[in-house]
Chain A
């Protein structure tokens, strides 16, 4: 039996369009692969370009994006990534991830998308805060010295929510 809704699921809002803007975003980057890190950086940079405040919170393997020793070594995940449309076993071959990463880097350079180290610097220079998740920092036994100089600080989840207050939170 089917039932029919007697009213639309979403009520149209009556606010004027100019009142509906986003003034602030807080973006969580939780994955350490190339395709896990870029979206957060692109969204943070895009926010700043529109004059929207942005904070970036790196957690778990997402921390690699701001770790001195790992930032330049981030690769595309070629195993368990159905988006690549190729057999998983092929993706597991030695060097395959490096090749896929190189191909993608070339494509991105064409579009003027910077490599991750430069991108983090660009986003930081544009005024976005760069935070490392305290729980992950402790879990991996890291200190501030392990991070790139753009790091604004190490923040607890509570501090992150305080920073995000009044804005939208985006989890990537």
Chain B
């Protein structure tokens, strides 16, 4: 079953309800988006994104992600080449970050 068949998502595949999320689902979203294996470093970013969103209602910018997640910007792009903030948010089951930075 694809992710979209299990939970409600927006047209781009972001979960509509963050509480539908599980780690297994996160792994499946990653696989569907070209990341076949999530390492501890991936999880560090994903968990930081998710926790920050659940605590503040906003996903962190790429700037604060690079400064505060413990994973520097260069590595963020190695881990998530198609856009770290966007992909980590998707895998972490939170809405697409809408900031410009």
Q: Which A residues have a C-beta under 8 Å from some C-beta of B? A: 42, 45-46, 48-51, 111-114, 122, 125-127
Q: Is the CB of A49 within 8 A of B63?
A: no
Residues of A within 8 A of B74 (CB): 125-127
Bound Cα distance A125, B81 (Å): 12
Bound Cα distance A122, B63 (Å): 7
Please list the 7 inter-chain residue pairs (A to B) with the smallest Cβ-Cβ separation, ordered nearest first: A51-B82, A125-B73, A51-B83, A125-B74, A112-B61, A49-B83, A127-B77
Bound Cα distance A138, B100 (Å): 35
Q: Is the CB of A111 within 8 A of B73?
A: no
Q: How far is the CB of A117 from chain B (nearest CB, A)?
A: 13
Q: Which B residues have a C-beta under 8 Å from some C-beta of A? A: 61-64, 66, 72-74, 76-77, 81-86, 99-101
A-B contact pairs, 22 of them (CB 8 A): A42-B100, A42-B101, A45-B62, A45-B101, A46-B101, A48-B77, A49-B62, A49-B84, A50-B83, A50-B86, A51-B81, A51-B82, A112-B63, A112-B64, A112-B99, A122-B62, A122-B73, A125-B72, A125-B73, A125-B74, A126-B73, A127-B77
Residues of B within 8 A of A111 (CB): 101
Bound Cα distance A125, B101 (Å): 14
Main secondary structure of the interface of B (DSSP, over half): helix
Q: Is the CB of B73 within 8 A of A49?
A: no
Q: A45-B62, A112-B101, A126-B62 are in contact. List 6 more A-B contacts (CB 8 A).
A: A49-B83, A49-B84, A112-B99, A113-B101, A122-B66, A125-B72
Q: How far is the CB of A4 from chain B (nearest CB, A)?
A: 38
Residues of B within 8 A of A112 (CB): 61, 63-64, 99, 101
Bound Cα distance A48, B72 (Å): 15
Residues of A within 8 A of B72 (CB): 125
